[in-house]
Structure 1
């Protein structure tokens, strides 16, 4: 069992601290993943809350056939799909509205790093939803292709093809802005 699965089992056995640990460990990543699906940061936060609420109230069974993170993100993905069906008109807010630039040690270096992040997120938002999801899951969440396939309900081959096309599209758009992302 990975850490999330252990905490979930603790919660199911009556230790509320297990759920608290799951929320602490997975909430930020889940919100960013759901933002990639919805394109709306506030809605992504609500959907993440719904996902954790489902864990707390419905207590679905975790079979262990995949990692806990993959299972949790699948629940979140389903919540996003259901939520988007219910809400056809989404807010115009994007993730760039929620970044705070800091002026700590090296102001210029921190500013440039933050600008690169903003540029990357801005360009990623122009990609299709599938491209955003596969890039986010594989690079930012460091999921394997098979884990990403389980979350996105696609075959491993489809994920490989999607990831290849997504990287090409992202690289092309980043180069147009004069930015190179070394992990591509």
Structure 2
């Protein structure tokens, strides 16, 4: 059982500090992950709070069969996608014109991403297609395996193998253009 699942089990058993530990463990990385979808730090914070609320309201839904982190990030992904759908329906402003709060994003990046190598990977991955960028974020920053990433992204094993290969090749090529040698 991973630490998130152990904390959640303690919460289910009545220890409220278990939920506090979950928030402490996943808050920053969840915001960063959601921000990859919504490109707005304040919205990402709100959706992360909604994700934790969903976990509180529907606490019996987690079955302890998969990784807790995978389950939590799946909820977050659904929240982000739902938000994007609502925004597209009601927004008259094109997505390219929406402001991005780069100061807040930089603060989160510094706290979540510590090494220069990961910063470069993040910077370059943002220029790649959304699926590649999402895969690279989950693989490098959240240190998830392909099985967990496949569940979050709703991909089959074969699709995930192809996505993994293509995303890493795209990253390798982009790094090579920057003069950086990438080795797995």
Count of residues in correspondence between the two structures: 170
* 1:27 equivalenced with 2:27 (yes/no): yes
* 1:92 equivalenced with 2:96 (yes/no): no
Give TM-score, length-normalised by structure 1: 0.80
Aligned to 1:176: 177
Alignment of 1:10-21 (within 5 A): 10-21=10-21
- Equivalent residue of 2:61, what SS? coil
The 1:62/1:129 distance shift into structure 2, 3 A limit, reads same
- Whether the aligned pair in 2 keeps the contact of 1:96 and 1:118 (CA below 8 Å) is no
- Whether the aligned pair in 2 keeps the contact of 1:37 and 1:132 (CA below 8 Å) is no
CA RMSD after TM alignment = 2.3
| Residue ranges of structure 2 left out of the alignment (5+ in a row) | 108-114
The 1:128/1:33 distance shift into structure 2, 3 A limit, reads same
Deviation at 1:98, TM superposition (A): 3.3
CA distance in 2, matches of 1:6, 1:51: 18
Give TM-score, length-normalised by structure 2: 0.80
Aligned to 1:108: none
CA distance in 2, matches of 1:52, 1:144: 23
Deviation at 1:12, TM superposition (A): 2.2
